[in-house]
Structure 1
Amino acid sequence: MSNLRDLQFENLDTAVAEARLLLREGYTRQGNWTLGQICRHLILVQDPSVDGYPKWMSLFAFMRPIMRRFLLPKILSKDSPRGIRTSSMFVPPENVDDASEVEAFAKSVERVHRHVGKYHPHPAFGKQSRDMIEQIHSAHAAHHLRFLTPSNPAS
């Protein structure tokens, strides 16, 4: 696989800005998903922070301390792991519209930010502060959006 972009986001708003830039400028895929599919995946993964995750996802809660210690730092790094299979419920459909999904992602981010109170425990990392949830989702967005190269990177 060719070199991926070195991408990190300070917060989810910068992830939305990057998605909008890719939509506006165009992009080349270096992975399996389009911009629309990536945005749909990000929505499917971050919305449960507000709405709650399926009960079956807490079956492995006993592994959370290990996941927090070993996987979370890797996820938050610039070079998060590739090739980890995702649950089918988080796999986006093939035919989605980039523009619609970018705006849906922006709305999902607004919703996460407007949420009052605690977020639901992350399936792998358990209860997290608002700041850490933002960091986790921002790192996740960077992980996926790094697979898209802007058509006009100088702009």
Structure 2
Amino acid sequence: MDFMDLAGQDEGHEPRADRLASVSAAFEGSEEIAAARDMVHAFLTSLQAVHGIPVSNRAMGMVQLVVSELVTNARKYAPGPCLLTLEAHDGAVEVSVWDSGTTLPAVMAPDPGRVGQHGLEIVMAVCRSFEVHREPVGKRIKVAVVLADDPGGAAAGHQVM
């Protein structure tokens, strides 16, 4: 795992006003999926301790789950390393996973009888947003997870209808 703590700025550039903190790492082996989850825990713990941003236990678990699913898919379906970036802004953490694969992910319709292949279905259910972008090389999946639970009791990321 290559690790770079951007702490709200790009190397050689001024801090971006629209994000509070950012961290990136490259992962090359499936054994590093646990390291990706550990990176999430350290990043979110730092947001609370250093920046005073509330992060619910639910959000901690959801972001770790989302990162695990996205990094697992990148390692499973694309050659070479993948790049994970976490950015905090607007009360959420944006998770971005780039890989060199050119095939866009297929999100299947919910099917409780299907064994396996529920990862993206789960990711979409717990995230505030879900985007897939083609890149000059490969693709990037970006999602956002709200960090604090709604005081009204609804799970963050889900709107009460």
Highest RCO, 1 vs 2 (Cα 8 Å, sep ≥ 6): 1
TM over 0.5: no
Q: TM-score, normalised to structure 2's length?
A: 0.29
Q: TM-score, normalised to structure 1's length?
A: 0.29
**More strand, by proportion:** 2
